[in-house]
Structure 1
Amino acid sequence: MAYDVKLICLSCGQANRVPEDRLTAGPKCGSCGAGLVTGKVAEIDGGVLSKAAAADELPLLVDFWAPWCGPCRQMAPEFVKAAGMLAPKVRLAKIDTQAHGSVSGRYRIQGIPAFILFHKGREVARLAGMRPAADLVRFVQSKTAGGR
């Protein structure tokens, strides 16, 4: 028996409920029409991050980065690969700490790139530094019992 999964739209911040068995069918936000589970990395702001971190029922891995950070730019393609590998059981997002400076303090980010894994309203784990996609996948799977 499938149950509904609560997801915050990473584009507009609206809460959505999606039947678990429809996560692979390209569900869209009821408000803005954006894809909810795309296998791609979403660029988000602090408000959407706060809502998704508190309410998402799928694990959410967030990359804290800045455009001036060389390792962050090098890490970006690996993060994109990890998004494709983890979908539809995990969503990935990134937030620009330069453009959204308050998030660094709120989430106690001390260096970038930094990754925080959120699930069901709480921070599950952190990881810092450049990593290949396979390391990110193993990290998420080890913290979420296979990505869910």
Structure 2
Amino acid sequence: MDEVLVVCPHCGKVNRASREKLAGGLRPDCGACGATLFPGAIEAKDDADFERHVARTNLPILVDFWAAWCGPCKMMAPQFAAAAKKMDGSARFLKVDTESLQQTAARFNIRSIPTMVMIVNGREIARQAGATDASNIIRWAMSHGVHA
């Protein structure tokens, strides 16, 4: 059985899930804490939490680098959430507040926000700067190998 590894956004434990079941719409709960593994876009709590998701999840990770003071970031937030809701299970949608997670923002050399970064197997494979809508986020993700 082809499985994915996904980090629980609540307790941080690694869980296994069937790709086939995820593709069929099943959204499993964490085996440790019982919380849903795919609640839509999630916020990285700190730099270590971000690293845990990147290092231990084998799904593509779509990261939205943003800040609370950024107008375009505020406009894009519901669009990112809508794309996450539609594609959750085929990718992890992770938000990074550049003001709180400065080390992570520096590691990815974030110079403008919002910036989306696609990470696969721990490596950045694509990035896009600027606000966009849900359909363009989905299209961009699919153009980099994420299946809806």
The equivalences for 1:105-120 within 5 A come to 105-120=106-121
Secondary structure of 1:49's aligned partner: helix
The equivalences for 1:21-36 within 5 A come to 21-23=20-22, 24-36=25-37
C-alpha contact (below 8 Å) 2:27/2:89 kept by paired residues? no
Residue deviations 1:54-78, cap 9 Å, x none?
Answer: 2322111111111111110011111
Using the size of structure 1 for normalisation, the TM-score is 0.88
What residue in structure 2 maps to residue 14 of structure 1? 13
- Name the CA distance, whole Å, in 2 between partners of 1:141 and 1:41: 17
Residue 73 of structure 2 corresponds to residue 91 of structure 1: no
What residue in structure 2 maps to residue 126 of structure 1? 127
Secondary structure of 2:144's aligned partner: helix
- Name the CA distance, whole Å, in 2 between partners of 1:15 and 1:87: 17
Secondary structure of 2:32's aligned partner: coil
Residue 72 of structure 2 corresponds to residue 71 of structure 1: yes
What residue in structure 2 maps to residue 43 of structure 1? 43
- Name the CA distance, whole Å, in 2 between partners of 1:52 and 1:100: 14
- Name the CA distance, whole Å, in 1 between partners of 2:66 and 2:26: 30
What residue in structure 2 maps to residue 147 of structure 1? 147
C-alpha contact (below 8 Å) 1:12/1:48 kept by paired residues? no
Superposed CA RMSD in Å reads: 1.7
Instruction: Say if 1:147 and 1:50 are closer, same or farther in 2 by CA, change over 3 A.
Output: same
Cα displacement (A) at 1:103: 1.6
Amino acid at match of 1:67: A
Using the size of structure 2 for normalisation, the TM-score is 0.88
Residue 109 of structure 2 corresponds to residue 136 of structure 1: no
Cα displacement (A) at 1:25: 2.1
- How many residues align? The count is 145
Secondary structure of 1:25's aligned partner: coil
